[in-house]
A and B are shown apart, each in its own frame.
Chain A
Amino acid sequence: MDDQTESSDQDVDDLSFEETYSRLTESIKQLEEGGLTLNEATQLYLSGIRLATHASEMLAKAELQIKTLSQPELVDPNHDNDD
């Protein structure tokens, strides 16, 4: 069984959205493939739900971050008359 299925809540909280999503997909794949003991299947389910929770929370809490690179000197703002 993968280490990921035994990861703690704290470990899951530190994952990026992409990683969380990919681990969640992987958990489902492992469950679908079968060949697991009941205990392994239950652990996979629980860690999968933790991943789903983490992913949903990230989506619900996210706010767009914006940064602006400084404009180089050569640009004359008087020419910036586009819409």
Chain B
Amino acid sequence: MPEALPEALPAAPGLAPLADQFSAAYWSAARDGTLLIQRCLACGRRQFYPRGHCAGCFAPDPEWTAASGRGRLHTYTVVHRTPNAEFAADCPYVLAIIELDEGPRVTARIVGETGAIGCDQPVHAVFTPAGDAGVLPNFALDAG
């Protein structure tokens, strides 16, 4: 089960997600500790990020489905310096691409212990309060 971390990331002013007809459900679910992806009713393809159609076959109206929150760290970078003032205070932070067990990839940070970080390590979703940005799904390395 996804766990909620007590630690809060600094909010990034002006970079809070702007919910729209396709993303409102996603951000709402994140506040409840659920990571949503979509599944195409025509071809079965699972996708992230959410859209009003399947990016594989262009069929309309894919359905929402809860992801397990489990996946593998496809790649990552430890950001030591950034030209973007909004994130300078966060440095160093780990920016990552996660491949979910369900298939799609998502962008997130790796939070918590990262001493033994490496590509393809198993990770699980955590949900981080982020001020104006609401709750951001992030990931942590599995223990052991």
A binds B: no
Q: Chain B: residues with CB nearer than 8 A to chain A?
A: none
Q: Chain A: residues with CB nearer than 8 A to chain B?
A: none
